[in-house]
Chain A
Amino acid sequence: MSTELAFEILVYGALVPAAVAIGALWIARRVLPPTSSSRHAAALAFAGGFCAGYALLPEWAPWSPSRHWHWLPYLAAAAAVTGPIAVAAGVSRPERWLLCLLSAIVAAWLLVPTWASLQPPRTTWVPLLAGYLFLLAALLDDLPDRVPGPMLRGVLFVVAATAAAVIADRVSISQARVAGLAAGALGGIAVGSGRRGNGVQLRGLAPAFAIVVGGGAFAGCIDPPKPLYGLLLAPAVPLALWVCAVGPLRRLGAKAAVVQAIAVAIALAGALALVYGDGAEAS
């Protein structure tokens, strides 16, 4: 890798999205009322960081979509609007899920390419991806109220960064750079929230995370001739927290944090094992 490319990846692909996310968090906290800020800040910071990084990518990442993944910045922006509104007070759970489902369907429709060689075909992938994105968003939606902020922010960042690294290694540097923008923005949110930030500040982020990180992983999954289905597990790793905080293991009390960390580590290792299950020679 050349010095110039490394600089672009580090500065444009990670530091700029992180800095924009930190700035957006700071502004949102000061401009928006507290009740509104807790819903909007993280989603706006994530979408802002992702789109700022996308704007700095070379010409192969245009704003006029000609490939399926070119829709990611638009979907990030849309999710930054719908996510916070879906978690507003007064919106019932069915209404929230309906909104998540609608967003997931639209995202799936745009993110599944029209390749003749796509297997399974687009007609199968669209409902599958929509279901995947919906489940991811709907289940992650419960976590900010139940998982400590640093833990959740850290897991989201690690998962996005791992997905980007795997895409770089197994699929394409270019697609990894797009996926890395999400990791950069999530890193900025983790840093910008500081130690005092609690999980509630991440409310409204779930749809954007699901669509951008899940959608990016999907793009990486289907790109090789032999799809890397294990990549789809990476964005779902935070659901290990759901099992501990909302699901069957929620009565662990003081041991919860340790169990959550172990569960996340196991889930991440499982996803990586699936991706790297069949080794490939170095190029």
Chain B
Amino acid sequence: MPAIRPLLPVLSIPLACLFIAGCSKAPGDGFPAAQAAGAATARKTDDAAAGESGTVALSPENARIEFIGTHVKGEPNPRRGVFQKFSGTAKVDEAAKSLKAVSVEIQTDSLSTSIEKLDNHLKNEDFFDVREHPTARFESTSIRQAEDKTGEYVVTGNLSLLAATKEISFPAKISFDDGGLKLTGGLTIDRTEFGMERLQDSVHKEVEINVRIGQTTAADP
């Protein structure tokens, strides 16, 4: 059917449209880099890990960020994971022995549960979507002492995870001793509020996050 030959140039139209559309909006555009996580505790400011002027550098060597998810059906069978790569700072008032601010940036592809297959699943777009959102971030906005509870504080800040940033608050025990500043805190987030909405019939939307600073923090789960 020679008559088909003149049609060939026409074929370039839909292809060209797709190509142009792809160029104008490259795959992955429109998805702000994800950030998130957090909590913190500072270590003693004269510690080798600590920075100057009351700033403590946070890393997996002196802090631990852990998450726990549970299954919906049957036994909860909690799965515990940690982030093996993150960095941040804790600002402390040396004289008052108080924590002023804390911020942490997590490399989400460093999550580890010690189960390779589960790690891969948690990293894909069903959950942390680490390819599109390689970082998560927490930045405190206030740290105030809990009423009538010595040593207990309420840490409030912005948690950026996937494409969402939400204000969260969590209780934390903060203390200073010879080892420096220590913090232990935890909270439960609703992962769907951050856009982690898939597989709610398999994995509860509530995810527990525990944070520890200033203690032995080997990054194994």
Chain A residues within 8 Å of B, Cβ to Cβ: 1-2, 4-5, 35, 60, 65-68, 70-71, 74-75, 77-78, 81-82, 85, 88-91, 95, 99, 102-103, 106, 109-118, 170-175, 223-225, 280-283
Contacts and interface: CB of A to CB of B under 8 A. Distances in A.
Given A67-B27, A90-B3, A60 B12 contact: no
A90 B31 CA distance: 46
Contacts of A103: 15
B96 interface: no
A5 B12 CA distance: 40
Contact of A5 (B79, B109, B131, B201): B201
Nearest to A115: B131
B189 interface: no
Contacts of B202: 1-2, 5
Contacts of B120: 170-171, 224-225, 280
B209 to A, nearest CB: 20
12 contacts: A2-B202, A65-B27, A78-B14, A82-B11, A102-B15, A109-B19, A111-B27, A117-B131, A223-B125, A282-B117, A283-B118, A283-B121
B95 interface: no
B12 A88 contact: no
A85 B124 contact: no
Contacts of B28: 66-68, 113-115
Contacts of A115: 28, 131-132
B134 A116 contact: yes
A109 to B, nearest CB: 5
A235 to B, nearest CB: 20
A173 B134 CA distance: 21
B121 A90 contact: no
Given A82-B15, A110-B18, A223 B131 contact: yes
Contact of B4 (A88, A173, A281): A88
Considering residues A5, A91, A175, which has the most beta carbons from chain B within 10 angstroms of its beta carbon?
Answer: A91
Considering residues A112, A170, A283, which has the most beta carbons from chain B within 10 angstroms of its beta carbon?
Answer: A283
Interface size class of B (residues with CB under 8 A): 35 or more
Interface of B: 1-5, 7-8, 11-12, 14-15, 18-19, 21-23, 25-31, 72-73, 79, 109, 115-121, 123-126, 130-132, 134, 197-199, 201-202
B116 A172 contact: no
A173 B18 contact: no
B115 A66 contact: no
Contact of B8 (A85, A110, A171, A172): A85
A85 B123 contact: no
Contacts of B26: 114
Nearest to B121: A283
Contacts of B126: 172-174
A111 B121 CA distance: 21
Contacts of B15: 78, 82, 102-103, 106
Given A89-B1, A91-B5, A78 B116 contact: no
